[in-house]
Structure 1
Amino acid sequence: MLARALGLGLLFVSGAAAQTFAGRIGIEVEGPNEGSRSRAFVDLGRGFRPLTTPVDDRGWPTTDAQVLLFDIRPVAAWENNIDDPDRFSPDWSGRYAVSFEGRADLTTSSDGRSSIENLRYDEAANLTTADLVVERGTSLLQLVFRSTRRAVGGPTNTGFRNLRVLRPGYAGSRQPYTHEFLDAIPPFQVLRFMGFTETNADFARWPETLEWNERHTPADATQQRLGKRIGVSWEYVIHLANITGKDIWINVPAPATDNYIRELARLLNATLRPDATIYIEHSNEVWNPGFPQQRWNLAAAGPEAITPLRRHARRLYEISRLFGEVFGTGEINRRVRPVYAWWPGRTQEYRDALNYMRATYGPVSQYFYGLSTAHYFGARVPETAAMPEILAAMRQTSEASALLNRQYKAMADEFGVKFLIYEGGPDNGQNYTLPNNVLVRNVGQHILANRGREMREMVVSDIRDVFFGNGGDLYMYFTLSGAYSRFGCWGLTEDIVNRTTEKFQGLYELIGRGSPPRIDRFSSSATGTGPIAPGSLLSVYGEHFSPKELTWSYGIWDGRVLPANLGGVRVRLNGKECHLHYAGPFQLNVLVPPDATSGALEVTTPHGTARVDVEVSPFAPGIFGYGLGNVRYASALHAGTGVYVAPEGALPGIVSRPARRGDIIELYTSGLGPVEGSYPAGEALTRAYATTGVVRATIGGVPARVLYSGLVNAGLYQVNLEIPGGLSPGDQLIAIEAGNRMSPGGVSLRIAQ
C-alpha cells in the first residue's frame, strides 16, 4: 500500500558525476567471525564462535555455556609470539547492551577489564537484560552463562536462546549492519562475498552434496559454521547490497546441488534490487590444492570422465543455465554475469578450458561474461630483507605482471568476453613461515611495509597502470578489512573505522573522493512546505547525499525493520535516529520519529555532516499528490480497489476514473497527529492505528463526511471519506484539517460529470 500510495506522490531526482575508475573497482568483504576487523554486525551475537557445548537445531546452547564474542588480539598473542612490531589491536571498549531469552548468572572472561552491570530478569517476558562494560585494552572477551534456565520455572543447566549483544551506541537498534561498516562501502561498485559466505570451508567430502535446506538462515544462533551451515546467510548478502546500492559477486559452493543453485537464483530474483548486477563464480580457486573445493572437484571429475579443469568450466556453464531458467536467458551476461576463473598464470589451461567449452556448447560469450584471474604483487625475499628491499620486490612483481595481463586481455577478446580480476592487491602472506611452521625473522618488516606511505602509490600504479592500462575491465580488491600477520596483510584497513590508511587513500585516488553533503532546504514530503509533524515523511534537498537512488522498498530487513542507512547516508533529528524512505544524490525522504521535537537535523555521509534547524509541530496535515499538466492531483484510490481517483486514462499503465457523488475514497495524507496506542517506530506497520483527534475534509469548499482516519504505514495516514453532493464536474480543490491546522491548498480531485 505504501509504495502504491506514495509512488505518484514523491519526486525522485537523480544524477552523479563519474570519476576515472568509478564503477570499475570492487571489494572483497571480510567474513564476520570473532576476529573480524569489519565490525559488520550491530549484534556481536551474529558472529560468535560456535559453541562446543550441546546445542539445539539452531545452534543455541542446551546447557550452561561460554560464548566467545570477540578475539581481536594480534597474531599470535596466544603463543606469546606476536608478529606485529606495533602490536596493533582495535579499540572495542564501551557499553554493550545484552539480552537473551531465559535466565542465567552472567559473568565475563577477558584479557582486559570487563564486567556485567544492571542484570535484570523479566519473568513475564522470560527475558534477561544487562549492560556489558568493556574497558580499553580488552582484545578477548567471553560471556559465561551459569545456572541457565531456558524456560520459566524449568530446570537449571538448560541453556538459553536469542542472545543479542549490541555494540556501543546501538542500544535498542534492530539494524543488521553498523554505520561504521556501511561508511566504508560507498566507493566500491561490486561487493565480493567469498570470505563472507565461507566458500573455502571444509564441510563436505565427495560425493556428499549441499542442499538448500542445509544452508544458514538469519534465524541461526550464529552466522559462523554450524555443521553444513557455513558462511553468512544469503539474506544478509542481499540486504547489504540493497541498502548500499552495490552489485554483488557470489561464489556458489562446489558441492551445491542443482536445486540449491535454482533456489538461490529464485531468492536473488525475488529480493535483490532489480538494478543490481550479479557476478557468479563456481566456488573459489577450484585449482588450489589447499582448498577443499579442489579435492571435491577432482573427485567428482573422475566418474564423470572429464578433467578437473574442464569440469570446473562445465559446472559454471550449468550454473549459468540454472540462473537463466529463473532470470530469463536474456539476462545472462547482462544482469547475471558468470565469470570463469582458474589458476593464475596458466594461460594455456584457460585456453584449453575455453576451447573445450566452445567446441561443446557454442560461443563462450553466450554463457560466460568474463574470464578472471588473481592479480597480487608480493615480495619473495630472503628472511633477512628489510622494508626497502620488500617494497622494491613488491614493485618489481607488480610491473612484471603487465605482460601476463596483456595475454589475458588478448584471450578475453578472442573469446568475446571481459577480463576481470577476482582478487588483487598486495600479497605478503606466502613467505612468512619456513618448514615446520617456523616463523621467518622479517615478518614484522612485511607488516610495516604494508602500512608505509609508499603503499598508496604502489596500489595506485598497480591497478591503474598494470591492470587497467593493459585492458582490464573490473578489479576486485582483496580485501576491505583484515588483521596484518604472517597469514597476509590483505586489508585496506586493519580497523574499519580507520579509512585514512595509505591503501584506502590509494583507492580513493583511483575511484574519486566524495564531497561533504549540503542541505539547501527541507519540507514535508506531502506538501513541499513546512511545518513537519512526528511520524511523517520529511524531504531534504541539497547535494552529495547518496551516489545512487535507493528506496526502502528493497531495504526492509526481515520484512519489518526500516533502514536507518541508505547509500551510506544516515539522518538524526535532535539526536534521534531517523529511518530513510529514499536516498538519492540531491534528495532524501526521511521518516520523522514519533517522539521527535524541534532541533537540529543532521545528514551524515562518509564524507561529512550537514546540519539545519527543523521545527516540529504536533500537527502538520498534508495531502500526497502528483502533477498532471498544470494540476496537482491528490493521491487517492476508490475504496477497496486499486483504481486511482484521476481523469480516466491519464496515468499510463494505471487504471483510473473520476469520483462521483456517494463514492467512498481512500485519501493518502501526512501529519494528522497522535494515534491510539503505541506503534512500533521504525518498522513497517502490520495494522492501522486510528487518529485520536478529529479530522475534517472539504472538497470544492463543501464538507465531506470522514469515515475513518489513521496511520496505515510508516509515514502514511489514510483518510476514508464520502464524496459529497453539489460538486461541479471537473477538478475540485480538496483540503483536510487536523489539530486546527489546514493542509496547504493547490491539491485537486477530479469529479465526474
Structure 2
Amino acid sequence: MQAESEKTQTMRLQTSLHRRAGASLLALGLVSCGGGEGPPAATIDASAPDARAAVAVPSRVDVDSSWPYLGIGINALNYYSGAFATADVVRESQFRSTSWGDAPVDADGAPTRDALMIFTSTRMGPGTYKLIFKGQAVLGVSGTPADGSDQRPFIQNAVYTAATNTTTADVVIPVAIRDNAWLTFGSTRRTASSALDTGVTEVRLWRPGYPTDGSVLFTNEFLAAMKKFHVIRGMDFVAANSNADITWASRTNARHIGAVAAGKGQPWELLVQLANATGNDLWINVPTRADDAYLTRLAQLLRYGSDGVNPYTTARANPVWPPLKAGLKVYVELGNELWNWSPGFFGYGWSLGLADAARKTRAHPINHDGAVDPTSQDGLYTAHRRWIAWRSSQVSLAFRKIHGDAAMMSTVRPILATQVADGNAYMSEALRWAEGYYSMMRTVNGQTVRIVSSVAPRKVSELWWGGGGAAYYESSAEPTDPADPAQMTAFFEGLPGPQFATRTAVDATWMRGYGLKSVAYEGGPGPGGSPLGSASWPGSVSAAYNADPRMLERMHAAHQVYQANGGQMLNYYVYSGAGPWDFVNGLPGATSTVSDTDTVKLQAIDAIRLTRKNSATLGATVPGTVWLQDPQIFRQLYGGASGSWGYDGQAIRFGPGTRGAAFAESILLPVRTAAAGTYQFSLRTYDASAGAKVEMLINGQTAGTWTLPASTSGQPVASSALSAALPAGLSVVRLRSLNSSIWIRDLVVQ
C-alpha cells in the first residue's frame, strides 16, 4: 500500500445531515491523518442536525490509499452551465451576429464582423469588469438587474490606443444581473486602417479582482470546488462525444477565444493548466478518429508543453504553455462510450465504421485469429468490440513511446472504458482479444503456438492501468413530484438500487481478473436521468432531489456499496451544466454568481473523501473451499462453461476452446484474504483425463498449471497443490482448461 504524503491541509467539513423518522443515519467516520495509516478515526455525531468537524486530509491520495480516490467531470466552457470557471469571462462566452445568428469568426474564434457577445444566460455578479481587445468598436452592454431595479450595466472609460491598436473599457454591473446578457461590438475596425464592420481580435473580459495579464486562468471558487476531488475528467471539456478531429491541425489551439463551435473541444493546454492550478490528476479523452500523429503530439504536449499551436518535442526552460506538473498523473481514454448508440454519441458510428473497414482486412490485428466474419452483422459487432480495444491499446503504446516505460502505469495510466457489467460483451471480448493478440499466441491447425511477430508481447496490464464501465446508480423508486413527501422518501430509501452493487461487482471481477484497477469513468446519482444520457424529468425536479439533505447520506452510502463490491476509483459526473447529474445549485431562483462549493452533493463528496475506505465484501473468504456453483461468490464465466453444469449441479465443465488460451472456457473467482501470504491451491475435479491441464492466474498473472490425475469414478478427485501468493484484501483467481474438457467442483485454498 502506498503511504500518503506527510504534507496535509486542514479543511472544514460542513455537512447538514438529515435524520429520517425512526431511522438512524450512518455516522460518518472521519480521519485526521499525516503519513501512512494515521491515528484512529474520529466520528461525527450524525444525530446532530448540523454536524461539523475540522479534519486534516492527506495532500496526495491515490487509488491504493486508505481514503477514497475521487474524480469529477467538467463541462465545456459556455455561458449557460453556471460553472463561473474562468477569470476571463470571454472563455465562457459566445459570439453571435448582430441579428443573433452564427457570427463569422477567424481561426482563433474572434469575430470578423460586428457582433454580439453573450456572456451569461444565468447570473453575473456586480462589479467592474475589465474589457480589453485589439481593434476599435462602438460598445454597448445589455443585462437585466436581478433585483428588479433600474440599475442596468453600462460602459465607461472606453479608450482606444492607436500605437498598440488596443481598446480598453470598464463594463460596470451595479447589481447582479440574471438571464441573458451581452456586449455589443458595433462599427468595428480590426486595425486602424481596416474598413468598418471588420471585427475585433484578442477579446478579454476580466472578472473583478483578477489580474488582466492572463496570469490567472480560473476563478478561486472554481478551483476550490475542483480541489474537493483528486482527478479532473475533461470529457465534455474537449467535446469527446462529438469531437471529429482527425489531424492535429484541426484541433482547437490555445489562442482560441470564447466558446467553441459544436464538435470542437477546448484547447488541451487549458485543461492541463487547470490540473496544474489545482494539483489534481488529469483524465483526458482522445478524439475517436485521431490519427497516429495526433496521438504523438498529444503525448508530447502532456510531457513537454506547447507554444499554443504545436507541442515541444523536448523539455523547455520557459514553455509558453507548461506541461503537466511533475507528480501529477494523466489517465488516457479513447473517446467516450463508443458502445453508446444514443443520439449525440457520434463516437459509436465513427468507431463502428472504422471497425467495419478493419474487419475486411484479414491481416488486421482485430482478426488475428480469424474469428471476425467480414460480412455478417454479428461479425461487425465482434469487430467493433475488438476495434475499440485495439485502438485504445494503440493510444497506450503511443504514450509509452513518448513518456517512456518507467512512466507507464505510474504517471501515464491508460484506461479501457467499456459498457458497464460487460454489457454486450464489450469488456470481456476486449480483454480476451488483447490477451490473445499481445501474447502472440495463435491457433494453427488446431494447435496453439507462438508466432514470431513485429508486435512486442505485452500483458494486458502493460496496455491498460484500469478500466470498467460507468457507476451510475438509480433508485428503485422513480423521482416524481418533489412536493410529495412520500414520493421523495421512497426515492431516497431506494437509493442506490440493488443493480448498483451487481454491476460494480461484475466490473471489478473482470478488471481485477486481468490485473487492472476497477475504475468507473463516470457515475453517481442523477435523479430523473438515464445512464444513456437522457433526462426524463424537468430540471427543477432533478434540482429539488439533488438539493435535498438526504442526498448526502445516500451518496455516502452508495460510495460504500461501490467500494464493498470492488470499485476502486469513481469519477462523478458532472460539476455543472447537465441537470440531473450536476453538482451546482439548479433550483429556480438560485442567486450564486460564483462557482458553487457547498451544495448538498459537494458536501457529500466532503463526507466521502474524509471517510476511510470500507473493506471489500465481494467474493469468497479464503483460506477455505470455494465451491464454483456458489452464487454468493459472484463468479464470472466465459464460453461453454457458462451453462454446462453437471453432477447434480455440483460441478462446471470447462473446455480448451479453439482459439488458444485467451479464449478457452474459463471462470473468474473473486476471493478475499485477511492477510497477504503464500497459499496452497488445489482443485477437486470429475472425469479428468490423464494429463489434463488447468491454468491458474491470480490478478492477471500466471500462478501455475495443474496436470490433473485421471478420475473416472464419479467421485471428486483432488489435484496436487500449487503454491502462490495472495495480497491482503480482494483478488480474482482465473481458471481455464488448456488441453481437454474437465469438470471442476471446488477450488481449495489453504
Instruction: Report the TM-score range of the alignment, normalised by the length of the smaller protein.
Output: 0.5 to 0.7
Summarize the Cα distance change of 1:387–1:337 in structure 2 as closer, same or farther, 3 Å threshold: farther
Which residue of 156, 161, 165 maps to 1:126?
165
User: In the alignment, is the contact (CA less than 8 A) between 2:527 and 2:545 conserved in 1?
Assistant: no
Give the match for residue 381 of structure 1: 478
CA displacement, residues 272-314 of structure 1 (integer Å, 9 cap, x when unaligned) = 1221111111111111112011110011111101521111111
| 1:136 corresponds to 2:185 | no
Runs of 4+ in 1 over 6 A off after TM superposition: none
For residues 290 and 531 of structure 2, the distance between their equivalents in structure 1, rounded to whole angstroms, comes to 34
For residues 69 and 140 of structure 1, the distance between their equivalents in structure 2, rounded to whole angstroms, comes to 8
For residues 220 and 319 of structure 1, the distance between their equivalents in structure 2, rounded to whole angstroms, comes to 26
5+ long unaligned stretches in structure 1? 1-12, 73-89, 514-753
For residues 384 and 514 of structure 2, the distance between their equivalents in structure 1, rounded to whole angstroms, comes to 21
Give the match for residue 357 of structure 1: 434
| Length-normalised TM-score, structure 2 | 0.59
Which residue of 268, 271, 286 maps to 1:252?
286
Give the match for residue 101 of structure 1: 134
CA displacement, residues 15-35 of structure 1 (integer Å, 9 cap, x when unaligned) = 233568646112112321111
Question: Secondary structure at the residue paired with 1:507?
Answer: helix
Which residue of 304, 308, 317 maps to 2:384?
308
Which residue of 564, 570, 586 maps to 1:469?
564
| 1:24 corresponds to 2:69 | yes
| 1:15 corresponds to 2:55 | no
For residues 477 and 430 of structure 1, the distance between their equivalents in structure 2, rounded to whole angstroms, comes to 14
For residues 50 and 258 of structure 1, the distance between their equivalents in structure 2, rounded to whole angstroms, comes to 33
Paired residues for 1:46-65 under 5 Å: 46-51=91-96, 52-65=102-115
Give the match for residue 295 of structure 1: 349
For residues 230 and 202 of structure 2, the distance between their equivalents in structure 1, rounded to whole angstroms, comes to 34
| 1:152 corresponds to 2:192 | yes
For residues 553 and 563 of structure 2, the distance between their equivalents in structure 1, rounded to whole angstroms, comes to 15
For residues 194 and 456 of structure 1, the distance between their equivalents in structure 2, rounded to whole angstroms, comes to 25
| 1:428 corresponds to 2:527 | yes
Give the match for residue 210 of structure 1: 246
| Aligned sequence identity (%) | 29
Summarize the Cα distance change of 1:455–1:500 in structure 2 as closer, same or farther, 3 Å threshold: same
Residue 70 of structure 1 deviates from its aligned partner by: 1.7
Summarize the Cα distance change of 1:50–1:262 in structure 2 as closer, same or farther, 3 Å threshold: farther
User: In the alignment, is the contact (CA less than 8 A) between 1:377 and 1:395 conserved in 2?
Assistant: no
| 1:419 corresponds to 2:518 | yes
User: In the alignment, is the contact (CA less than 8 A) between 1:108 and 1:143 conserved in 2?
Assistant: yes
User: In the alignment, is the contact (CA less than 8 A) between 2:518 and 2:567 conserved in 1?
Assistant: yes
Which residue of 592, 601, 614 maps to 1:503?
601
For residues 31 and 111 of structure 1, the distance between their equivalents in structure 2, rounded to whole angstroms, comes to 25
Give the match for residue 496 of structure 2: 398
Give the match for residue 730 of structure 2: none
Give the match for residue 459 of structure 1: 555
Residue 405 of structure 1 deviates from its aligned partner by: 1.5
For residues 282 and 340 of structure 2, the distance between their equivalents in structure 1, rounded to whole angstroms, comes to 23
Which residue of 318, 322, 344 maps to 2:398?
322
User: In the alignment, is the contact (CA less than 8 A) between 2:129 and 2:208 conserved in 1?
Assistant: yes
| 1:490 corresponds to 2:595 | no
For residues 177 and 262 of structure 2, the distance between their equivalents in structure 1, rounded to whole angstroms, comes to 34
Give the match for residue 338 of structure 1: 414
For residues 275 and 346 of structure 2, the distance between their equivalents in structure 1, rounded to whole angstroms, comes to 28
User: In the alignment, is the contact (CA less than 8 A) between 2:419 and 2:468 conserved in 1?
Assistant: no
For residues 443 and 391 of structure 1, the distance between their equivalents in structure 2, rounded to whole angstroms, comes to 19
| 1:178 corresponds to 2:276 | no
Letter in 2 for 1:471: G
Residue 395 of structure 1 deviates from its aligned partner by: 4.9
| 1:278 corresponds to 2:330 | yes
Paired residues for 1:570-581 under 5 Å: none
User: In the alignment, is the contact (CA less than 8 A) between 2:526 and 2:542 conserved in 1?
Assistant: no
Question: Secondary structure at the residue paired with 2:139?
Answer: strand
CA displacement, residues 177-224 of structure 1 (integer Å, 9 cap, x when unaligned) = 1112112222321111111111122x53xxxx51112111221132x3
Letter in 1 for 2:432: N
Letter in 2 for 1:193: G
For residues 412 and 300 of structure 2, the distance between their equivalents in structure 1, rounded to whole angstroms, comes to 13
Summarize the Cα distance change of 1:432–1:21 in structure 2 as closer, same or farther, 3 Å threshold: closer
For residues 512 and 568 of structure 2, the distance between their equivalents in structure 1, rounded to whole angstroms, comes to 12
Give the match for residue 167 of structure 1: 207
CA RMSD of aligned residues (A): 2.8
For residues 137 and 192 of structure 2, the distance between their equivalents in structure 1, rounded to whole angstroms, comes to 11
Residue 138 of structure 1 deviates from its aligned partner by: 2.4
Give the match for residue 75 of structure 1: none
Letter in 1 for 2:82: R
Summarize the Cα distance change of 1:217–1:22 in structure 2 as closer, same or farther, 3 Å threshold: farther
Residue 329 of structure 1 deviates from its aligned partner by: 2.6
Residue 390 of structure 1 deviates from its aligned partner by: 4.5
User: In the alignment, is the contact (CA less than 8 A) between 2:104 and 2:112 conserved in 1?
Assistant: yes
Letter in 2 for 1:170: Y
Give the match for residue 92 of structure 1: 125
Paired residues for 1:567-716 under 5 Å: none
For residues 185 and 21 of structure 1, the distance between their equivalents in structure 2, rounded to whole angstroms, comes to 21
Residue 420 of structure 1 deviates from its aligned partner by: 0.9
5+ long unaligned stretches in structure 2? 9-33, 35-56, 59-64, 97-101, 146-151, 305-322, 360-365, 367-382, 440-458, 587-591, 612-750
Letter in 1 for 2:301: L
For residues 192 and 198 of structure 1, the distance between their equivalents in structure 2, rounded to whole angstroms, comes to 12
For residues 24 and 429 of structure 1, the distance between their equivalents in structure 2, rounded to whole angstroms, comes to 26
| 1:372 corresponds to 2:468 | yes
For residues 318 and 432 of structure 1, the distance between their equivalents in structure 2, rounded to whole angstroms, comes to 28
| Length-normalised TM-score, structure 1 | 0.59
User: In the alignment, is the contact (CA less than 8 A) between 1:250 and 1:279 conserved in 2?
Assistant: yes
